[in-house]
Structure 1
Amino acid sequence: VHCAIVGTSRLEHLRRNVEQVAKGPLPAETVEAIRAAFRAEWEGQI
């Protein structure tokens, strides 16, 4: 995923989303771990 559309009806949720975005991208090793987990089970169909 290269982008996400985030919506909320609560101001506190919006604040938390902004805080997470401000942290920047995930570390490369975390991204690879996520991809490896999906690769193990994903058949390539959406």
Structure 2
Amino acid sequence: MTSNLKFVLEMLDKYPVQLEDPYLRSRNIECQQRSQLQSRNSADQMISKKV
């Protein structure tokens, strides 16, 4: 995982998304990020964060 993705996950933990409409507050929001690792064997990582 790159440092940028770690930063995003840390920010989501510190400052969760505040939904203004009451009917949306009970719903889960999924944030997904896909990154390509630069190495001999390129791999995709999927990071899923439920807020």
Q: TM-score range by the shorter chain?
A: 0.3 to 0.5
Higher normalized helix content (fraction of residues):
1
Query: Taking structure 1 as the reference length, what is the TM-score of the superposition?
Result: 0.33
